[in-house]
Amino acid sequence: MTGRLALKTASSVVAGLLIAGCASYFEIPIETPIKPKLDVSPFQRVLVAGFISGGSEDVDGNLETTRLLRSQLRTKSELRVIDADVLPLVTAATDSTGPERPAGEARPATDAKEPDIKDDKDLEPFEHLFADVEYWKKIGEEYQSPLIVTGTIMFTPQTRSGFVQREVEQFDSFGRRRVVPVRTYQERKGFRLKPKFVFIDGRTGTTLYSESFSEEILYNANQTTPALSSYFELMDRLIPSFLNTLSSQKVKGTRVLLQ
Amino acid sequence: MKPTLSAKSRLCAAFLLAATVVAPLSADARNDAKKQVEFGISVAQRGLWREAIYRWERAAQIDPSYAAAHNNLAIAYEHEGELDKARIAYEKAIELEPGNAMIKQNYELFREINDRTTRTKDSQ
């Protein structure tokens, strides 16, 4: 009886394996179209107005971001990109009394020198500018009602120390190679990029959409990587998401079809 | 000789009859659905995704318990940008075959993309 049961079990296992073995599958490449987050059909033109930036002095976050976004939009969006001087947003924010700032409260420094924006907190006194409908409406009129792209850019140096896992190649007494994970204490430095993109309707001056990001890159402390390289590396990660706000994108991938 | 069958025997006979009729029917359904799935795969490989969708939808109608049909349909919907439909089809495929690693992997990859598009916005 037990022998018969064992035979039955074994045959069902073999049958199961045979069925599993017969099941075919096919890898297939696909391209998923992602719809834009924002309906830009009312606009023919886009103005990347400029950004309020802070953090590292090695990179001008305002100029670099404006240049980069304009060039990306020129090639990857159907909107016509307006070439114009970058707007002096810090001055504009300083000159206008924001709705969030009670009358009489001290304004950010109005010296000819740019204010020292070192972290997110330093950006706060300028944020009211993005809600200043009259200001943006005026800009919109000047450039024939485009879609306006603006926001804040915070690019700050980072230093971190702690244990990092890395893979090390080892050879045993027979000369066989193997890779083992090793945890080592490391001093690391790098940068964090925190942009906030604000999309404003140039016809009404109102904010249509805004999105914030945060990306970080860290290197071994002995490695010297220019700040500008790190900035572009981090922006490179964000650009697809930024572009997807205005235009449809295709994400390439592979899936498995089953029979 | 008994003039009539007992209730137990009748029940048994009915069960046997049902088993002999229904089992081939469901096997036929799976065979038909499989043909649709195979044809769908061949057209998808040539880039004819709308035709593939038609075939896999037919397969899922013929045999709603056929996980492969739902999985393939989900992939085709994904390719066409119909992400809501893709999610429903993937979830159906997983419900039918919860242990299928390939369906799960497809679904995970899909979710990565889907999460990106439904990301929380600051304002709109």
If you write DSSP's letter for every residue of B94-109 in order, what string do you get? HHH-TT-HHHHHHHHH
Radius of gyration of chain A (CA): 27
**In contact, B91 and B104? CB cutoff 8 Å:** no
In sequence order, what are the residues at sequence separation of 6 or more whose Cβ sits closer than 8 angstroms to the Cβ of residue A19?
A: none
Contact list, B121 vs chain A (CB under 8 Å)? 37, 209-211
List the single residue in A32, A38, A258 with the smallest CB-CB distance to B113. A32
pTM of the model: 0.65
CB contact under 8 A, A30 and B78: yes
Average of per-residue pLDDT across A150-163: 91
Place A104 in a pLDDT band, splitting at 50, 70 and 90.
Answer: very low
Q: Which residue has the higher pLDDT, A250 or B42?
A: B42
Q: Which residues pair with A30 in a beta bridge?
A: A253
For residue A54, what is the DSSP state? E
Whether the CA torsion A87, A92, A94, A95 is positive or negative: it is: positive
List the single residue in B109, B117, B124 with the smallest CB-CB distance to A255. B109
In sequence order, what are the residues at sequence separation of 6 or more whose Cβ sits closer than 8 angstroms to the Cβ of residue A66?
A: A48, A49, A50, A51, A86
Task: Kindly identify which residue of chain B lies nearest to residue A206, measuring between CA atoms.
Answer: B124
Which residues from B are below 8 Å from A when comparing CB atoms? 34, 37-38, 41, 44-45, 67-68, 71-72, 75, 78-81, 83, 100, 102-103, 105-106, 109-110, 113, 116-117, 119, 121-124
For residue B2, what is the DSSP state? -
- The structure tokens listed for A46 are 């886009």
CB contact under 8 A, A256 and B105: yes
Average of per-residue pLDDT across A70-74: 95
Predicted ipTM of the assembly: 0.78
**In contact, B83 and B114? CB cutoff 8 Å:** yes
CB contact under 8 A, A30 and B79: yes
pLDDT in tens, A197-249: 999 999 999 999 999 999 999 988 888 889 999 999 999 999 988 998 998 88
pLDDT in tens, B31-82: 999 999 999 999 999 999 999 999 999 999 999 999 999 999 999 999 999 9
- Residue A21 in this model has a pLDDT that exceeds 50: no
Give pLDDT, residue A119: 84
Instruction: Please report which helix (H) or strand (E) contains residue A40, including its range.
Output: none
Give pLDDT, residue A228: 95
Instruction: Please spell the DSSP secondary structure of A165-230, one letter per residue.
Output: EEEEEEE-TT--EEEEEEEEEEEEEEEEEEEEEEEEETTT--EEEEEE--EEEEEETT----HHHH
Of A150, A226, A223, A236, which Cα lies nearest the Cα of A193? A236
Of B62, B117, B53, which Cα lies nearest the Cα of B85? B53
Strands (E), B1-110: none
d(CA B73, CA B40): 9
pLDDT in tens, A166-205: 888 888 888 888 888 888 888 889 999 999 999 999 999 9
d(CA A108, CA A122): 9
List the single residue in B34, B41, B124 with the smallest CB-CB distance to A257. B41
d(CA B114, CA B87): 9
d(CA B116, CA B49): 24
Place A105 in a pLDDT band, splitting at 50, 70 and 90.
Answer: very low
Closest Cα in chain B, distance from residue A83 (Å): 26
